[in-house]
Amino acid sequence: MQEKYLMSSNDTILKHILDLSKKLIAIASTSDNPQGLKEVLAIARKELQGYFPIEEFESNGIPGLLVRNTDQETRHFKIILNAHLDVVPGKPDQFVPLQKDGKLYGRGAYDMKSAAAVILLLFKEIGKHVTYPLALQLVTDEEIGGFNGTAYQIKNGVQADFVIAGENTDLQINNQSKGILHAVLKVSGKAAHGAYPWLGENSIVKLQRAINSLLDAYPIPQEATWKTTINVAKIETDNTVFNKVPDTARAYLDIRFIPQEKDTIQERLKSLLPKDITMEIESYQPPQYTSEDNILIKQLKKQITDVTTKEVKMLATHGGSDMRFYEFRGIPAVCFGPTGFAHHGDDEWVDIQSLQDYYHILKNFLAAIKE
């Protein structure tokens, strides 16, 4: 450990982490509660006000902050520590933090308000001591896509050589995740009376054949697997009666594709479809991928092993994070967070000891980086 940066005892550090985590958890900072988003961000701001320059961002009513460790006006940093303070909706008692049996329970305890508390307090301690530009990025819309938080800040020039998001990873490193492609298949048929189907052309049947073609190429897995998957989220037609052959049909697809297919997935899907089926792309989000040979990933792995004495695993996740926005700009980015369970679930918790380990791992990592 870099003792010259140690300003408090371990017990004091952990107490501050837990106190701040509980304050953050107590705020229902959900997307349908704009006041809650402002309140949780205000708690974070209060911790840092007067210590560092704080830049405010807001897009479509979604607030965010960028805190830098230098008085020099810049949006280019060596390292950015990213944390989201929004959470998915929960039951009222989930916003009453509970500490029990070495665990901290509550909505956002694992995803990711406790990690945010660690990152914030670490930045407060170490920010003035490192010799390179370091930033803390706090956003409030990761759970609904991140377009008005992290993506908006990047669009406005925020960048780094390396980014760490405190998403839940059980003290492992998530260096890749699947991309997201939302597509709509559309097909036209020929209307006819339902008693005379041979006179019509059933658009739903045509659509079903197209879907089967896609699922033959990308079969639904029976267990977790690192392959591209297609979820048929919805099928609809304009037809509203029984006795008519439908002449329109649409299918909505949620496609999660591996990084290796990012340049080929759209053309591959189109090649599998019959000529009379059109595919419209509703949204495209790139996958996240940073090579484990990256020098800063290697340094982070070393610090994790030094603190935990355990081997570090590289994780590939099926869901995305805000780190995909950095990947799109060619900026190395990973997720790294504490140990816990049931994010988005009723019994969400974070392991308290892992919060202390998390603090020291990141601290040693940041202290070891050269300008």
Q: Indicate the SS3 state at residue 172.
A: coil
Residues 185, 211: contact at Cβ < 8 Å?
yes
- Which residues have CB under 8 Å from 162's CB, separation 6+? 78, 79, 80, 294, 296, 331, 332, 333
Give the C-alpha separation, 235 to 207, whole Å.
Answer: 9
Question: Residue 5: is its pLDDT beyond 50?
Answer: no
Confidence grade of residue 2 (pLDDT, cut at 50, 70, 90): very low
Pull the structure tokens for residue 290: 């940073």
Residue 149 carries which side chain, given as an amino acid letter? G
Of 3.30.43.10, 3.40.630.10, 3.30.565.10, 3.10.20.600, which CATH number belongs to 3-177+287-368? 3.40.630.10
Give the pLDDT confidence of 311-335 residue by residue, as tens digits.
999 999 998 899 999 998 999 999 9
Question: Residue 72: is its pLDDT beyond 90?
Answer: yes
Residue 231 gets which letter from DSSP?
E
Residues 218, 205: contact at Cβ < 8 Å?
no
Give the pLDDT confidence of 47-70 residue by residue, as tens digits.
999 999 999 999 999 999 999 999
Give the pLDDT confidence of 10-41 residue by residue, as tens digits.
889 999 999 999 999 999 999 999 999 999 99
> pLDDT over 70 for what percent of the chain?
98
How many beta carbons lie within 10 A of that of residue 254, not counting itself?
15
Give the C-alpha separation, 88 to 165, whole Å.
Answer: 18
What fold, for 179-285?
Alpha-Beta Plaits (3.30.70)
Question: Residue 123: is its pLDDT beyond 70?
Answer: yes
- Which residues have CB under 8 Å from 309's CB, separation 6+? none
Residues 172, 312: contact at Cβ < 8 Å?
yes
Q: Indicate the SS3 state at residue 278.
A: strand
Q: Would 3-177+287-368 and 179-285 be classified into the same CATH topology?
A: no
How many beta carbons lie within 10 A of that of residue 270, not counting itself?
12
Q: Model-level pTM?
A: 0.90
Question: Residue 122: is its pLDDT beyond 70?
Answer: yes
Domain ranges of the chain: 3-177+287-368, 179-285
